[in-house]
A and B are shown apart, each in its own frame.
Chain A
Amino acid sequence: MNLFSDIVVRSPWLYRINAGSCNGCDVELATTACIPRYDVERLGCRYCGSPRHADIVLITGPLTLRVRDKVLRVWQEIPEPKVTVAVGICPISGGVFRGGHSIEGPIDRYIPVDVNVPGCPPRPQSIMEGVLLAKKIWLDRLNGIAPGHKEERHVSLP
């Protein structure tokens, strides 16, 4: 198995979750994903429509109370080993929305984040750097170099 995974480098599939974002990061993610100018597929990644196929998940938005459980459910559906990327300052720290009555973030209160890409919104190239970093972590996890086993990574609701 190890030999096989050494020879064959798999391609991570990307999935994005909007956790109550203002659209900025989502539009930039769509731009990064879907148009030839940024062409994320060059990095050996592609977007998929189902969390069950995903390897790298990109989360935007400050995590509102109303999406919290839905986001967590979708996140749990993604098979291990997965890598979580927080895109924009909102999921990382709450950004300008921190302290709002329906803000549940920062997202690492609930979900173990691996990569942060701050910006408001980050430019597509910056998002691509984040994806590259996430891909590296993901490959390390596949090869057992980096931690990230199921038992260590749990999500709990308060």
Chain B
Amino acid sequence: MTPTNKSNEIVHDALLQATELATQWTFDVKQNAFGWLRLNNTESLRPAAKALAENGARLCTMTAYVEERGENSNKKAIAYHFALANTVVTVTVPLYTAGCDTPVAVPSITSWFRNADWNEREFHEMFGIDIVDHPNPKRLFLDERLDAGIMSSLIPFSAMVHGAATRNLWEQVMAAKGVDITGSDGSYGLENPHGAPTDISTPPIEEPTFTPVSATAPENGN
């Protein structure tokens, strides 16, 4: 039996026992295993963490995120990433319930994983997610002048924050050349039209796209 299978099975059985949920597995080209488990609620996090800790897993990190893109979405979740030999298990905990998007607090797992401390403080300050029983609830990186939860308030972003600085600089670059672009709606480099589905299959050698202007059509002199 290869080590891959062994650590897979250990994790699988431990999590099955603790949460009554089966882990889904994917493999990369080198046959490293990636396990994916989605818990039903934050209650199951403690037993899952306990089971992983008892089987020698190491906490890699945790990722808090907003599940859907969109101005009004507030469906937050946390993915806990654990490592055991060549296996990475991601346990996802949704922080919302049916009909209620307001994120619920999550229990701290610092009693099983010492290095959860910083991770939990980070998602608290970046996403405004509350933690139950955190031993050291202070800001980690984010300056006090910025609001807690800045990531979740920025993810449903508009170009507002972002475009202004770039636009301003480009206006000066073009002004130095004698071109006034203050009224133009051209793109300024870093503004990605958010959410626009783009086919990224490259290389794009097929046919460059143009916006051909017909020479015969009357010029629209707006």
User: In the complex, A touching B, CB below 8 Å?
Assistant: yes
Interface residues, chain A, CB within 8 Å of chain B? 65-66, 93-94, 98-99, 101-103, 106
Please report whether the interface of chain B is mostly helix, strand, loop or mixed according to DSSP.
Answer: helix
CA of A67 to CA of B145, assembled, Å: 12
CA of A24 to CA of B142, assembled, Å: 23
CA of A102 to CA of B125, assembled, Å: 13
Please report whether the interface of chain A is mostly helix, strand, loop or mixed according to DSSP.
Answer: loop
Q: Does B161 have its Cβ within 8 Å of any Cβ on chain A?
A: yes
Residues of B within 8 A of A102 (CB): 142-143, 146
Interface residues, chain B, CB within 8 Å of chain A? 142-143, 145-146, 150, 154, 161-166, 169, 190
CA of A66 to CA of B163, assembled, Å: 22
Determine which of B145, B164, B169 lies in contact with A93 in the assembled complex, contact meaning CB atoms within 8 Å.
Answer: B169
Do residues A101 and B190 form an inter-chain contact, with CB atoms below 8 A? no
CA of A101 to CA of B150, assembled, Å: 8
Minimum CB–CB distance from B172 to chain A (whole Å) comes to: 10
10 closest A-B pairs (Cβ-Cβ)? Answer: A99-B162, A66-B143, A65-B143, A98-B165, A101-B150, A99-B165, A93-B169, A98-B166, A101-B154, A99-B190
CA of A94 to CA of B190, assembled, Å: 12
Minimum CB–CB distance from B51 to chain A (whole Å) comes to: 37
Residues of A within 8 A of B154 (CB): 101
A to B CB contacts below 8 Å, 25 in the list: A65-B143, A65-B145, A65-B146, A66-B143, A93-B169, A94-B165, A94-B169, A98-B165, A98-B166, A98-B169, A98-B190, A99-B161, A99-B162, A99-B163, A99-B164, A99-B165, A99-B166, A101-B146, A101-B150, A101-B154, A102-B142, A102-B143, A102-B146, A103-B165, A106-B165
CA of A65 to CA of B150, assembled, Å: 14
Minimum CB–CB distance from B92 to chain A (whole Å) comes to: 25
Known A65-B145, A65-B146; judge A101-B169 contact (CB<8 A).
no
Minimum CB–CB distance from B142 to chain A (whole Å) comes to: 8
Residues of A within 8 A of B142 (CB): 102
CA of A102 to CA of B145, assembled, Å: 10
